[in-house]
Amino acid sequence: MSFVSVRNVFQSYGDRPILERVSVEVEEGCFVSIVGASGCGKSTFLRLLLAQETPSRGEVSIAGQPPAREPGRDRGVVFQKYSVFPHLTIRDNILAAEELSARWGRLWGRARRAARERADAALARVGLAHVADQYPAALSGGMQQRLAIAQALQARPRILLLDEPFGALDPGTRLSMHDFLTELRAETPMTVFMVTHDLSEGFKLADRVLVFDKTRWDPDAPERWGATITYDFDARHGGIPFQSARAPHAA
Amino acid sequence: MRWINRRPGRPLAVALALAPFALAALAYVAGSEARLAANPADKLLPAPSTLWDAAMAALTEADRRSGEILFWNDTFASLTRLALGVGIAAALALTLGLAAGLLPLAGAGLSPFVAAVSMAPPLALLPILFIVFGLGEVSKVALIVIGTAPFMIRDMAGRVAETPVEQIVKAETLGASSLVIALRVALPQAMPRLIQAVRLSLGPAWLFLIAAEAIAATEGLGYRIFLVRRYLAMDVILVYVAWITILAALLDLALRRLSARAFPWAEPAR
């Protein structure tokens, strides 16, 4: 049985279908990129994985668990922005990954000291130790996303979901963030889903690239049909040759 | 260069800021001198020296009957009422606003009611308050609460509801319960806004305070003004008005400082 299992998922908002007949099985430790045109349901798919939304039909299950109805600690997430807490210092942002699950959202005494040490270790690992006592607003966009990733990982999620995490960064910073993410994955293998509109980024980082598109298109009513996974590429070894892990439209 | 792009330098800015004050003072002095020249017993625009004497008398001379300095008693009474009223309103705003902004169930139940209540003119409710709570302290504090709380609650609820959904979802993925999200994500970020709301509410709060004191009180800044009005004691009224203005300005400044000190992350980047 695969780690992440999406079975025949449909999602519509009102009478407007967004996704239809989406099925995919992903192994543990796999890095999956999700690409597609704007409005083709990539972010909706990520929200379904995150359990921020529940599908109108079908189900999403992680590690054999019953489908979740709201986001929880087994899913880590990094958004394009607003992913860190502006009112907490950088250290406290990492600490929040352990503290927020406590009853009152705080740890005390020995537990807090231990968590603080782990937070400092995490900050040192991602190169943010020197700004631990500052607020996120003092960080550049790339550093904020670094913090957001470190924060998400500190909670030890089963899967990590990235929603266009580097979309707002300049090209140079984006490249260094690619290296950062690759290094992190080399240290700790993790299952990652990343939505991106940058095809080359998708192929560069991922083991698999899922392409979302509409298979049916009504020129008079573009809203009529939802999107589904139209291609499923094996992107290992730089994605060359572009081997299809499964045939298009296979159920 | 367009006028919209012309900015005053520091000296000019200070001069421009002081000019209206100076003009107002000048106009007053001129008017006062003209009236006093025509009638030395004129009470409408007392001379600056008379104002000064009135201020010194109010600040230092004890009341012959009670032996206490009424000015400070009035100040203490009014500030206590103001602090109680605005404090209760702020506490209500914090709890109800947080609940309404964060919990859709609470918002659905609270928001229409608060919106309706905020439409009722508080001064029209004052007689009801006097009837229900009597003429004591409770009715005055209640008027300030009723006058300022609905606006503050709505402001807080709106602000909390504006918390980016990404932050809420992020907290959920870190295992936070609704309570923890309220305490550690929404509440701290709502605090600077609460202080802002209190600052904006202080104007109406003073209005309601003085209105309530004018109608039924035995001490207080508003009471004193309306009392000495009977004797056309403009010198005392002007001193009290100036004092109230200074108090309001100081309170505003203190709240602004407090916000900047306590919530440095909320300050706009410079």
CATH number of A248's domain: 3.40.50.300
pLDDT recorded at residue B85 = 96
- A118 and A218 together in one domain: no
Is B77 inside any structural domain? yes
Nearest to B174 among A52, A101, A135 (CB): A101
Is B110 inside any structural domain? yes
pLDDT recorded at residue A249 = 47
- A186 and A140 together in one domain: no
- A21 and A63 together in one domain: yes
| Residue B131: CATH number of its domain | 1.10.3720.10
Contact (CB<8Å) A71/B166: no
CA distance A198 to A200: 6
Query: Is the CB of A104 inside 8 Å of chain B's CB atoms?
Result: yes
Question: Which residue range is the domain that position A58 belongs to?
Answer: 1-74+157-251
Is A21 inside any structural domain? yes
pLDDT recorded at residue A20 = 87
- A64 and A176 together in one domain: yes
Is A70 inside any structural domain? yes
Closest chain A residue to the Cα of B185, Cα to Cα = A85
- Using DSSP bridges, classify how beta strands A191-195 and A31-36 pair: parallel, antiparallel or unpaired: parallel
Q: Write the pLDDT tens digit of every residue in A62-114.
A: 888 888 889 989 999 999 888 899 999 999 999 999 999 888 888 888 989 99
Nearest to A77 among B169, B176, B263 (CB): B169
Is A80 inside any structural domain? no
- Domain tally for chain A? 2
Low-confidence ranges of chain A (pLDDT < 50): 248-251
Chain B environment of A83 (Cβ under 8 Å): 166-167, 170
- Cβ A22 vs Cβ A6: under 8 Å: yes
- Indicate which of A46, A82, A87 best probes the interface with B, i.e. most B CBs within 10 Å of its own CB: A87
Nearest to A76 among B173, B180, B266 (CB): B173
- A55 and A4 together in one domain: yes
- Domain tally for chain B? 1
- A50 and A171 together in one domain: yes
Query: Is the CB of A157 inside 8 Å of chain B's CB atoms?
Result: yes
Tokens matching residue A217: 């298109």
Nearest to A100 among B166, B171, B265 (CB): B171
pLDDT recorded at residue A251 = 40
**Å between A245 CA and nearest CA of chain B:** 31
Contact (CB<8Å) B170/A83: yes
Residues in chain A: 251
**Å between B175 CA and nearest CA of chain A:** 4
Q: A207-229 as b/e, with b when 16 or more CB fall inside 10 Å?
A: bbbbbbbbeeeeeeeeeeebbbb
Q: What is the pLDDT along chain B (270 residues), one digit of tens a residue?
A: 899 999 999 999 999 999 999 999 999 999 999 999 999 888 889 999 999 999 999 888 888 888 888 999 999 999 999 999 999 999 999 999 999 999 999 999 999 999 999 899 988 988 999 999 988 899 999 999 999 999 999 999 999 999 999 999 999 999 999 999 999 999 999 999 999 999 999 999 999 999 999 988 889 999 999 999 998 899 999 999 999 999 999 999 999 999 999 998 887 755
- A105 and A51 together in one domain: no
pLDDT recorded at residue B7 = 92
Chain A environment of B264 (Cβ under 8 Å): 135
SS (H, E, C) B90-157: HHHHHHHHHHHHHCHHHHHHHHHHHHHHHHCCHHHHHHHHHHHHCCCHHHHHHHHHHHHHHHHHHHHH
- A150 and A163 together in one domain: no
pLDDT recorded at residue A200 = 86
> End of a domain among A155, A177, A201?
A155
pLDDT recorded at residue B159 = 92
Question: Which residue range is the domain that position B144 belongs to?
Answer: 70-266
Is B90 inside any structural domain? yes
DSSP codes joined into one string, B19-55: HHHHHHHHHHHHHHHHHHHH-TT--SS--HHHHHHHH
Contact (CB<8Å) A52/B169: yes
Contact (CB<8Å) A135/B164: no
- A63 and A111 together in one domain: no
Is B201 inside any structural domain? yes
- A98 and A48 together in one domain: no
> End of a domain among A136, A155, A174?
A155
Is A28 inside any structural domain? yes
Contact (CB<8Å) A96/B263: no
Nearest to B180 among A83, A104, A137 (CB): A104
Is A221 inside any structural domain? yes
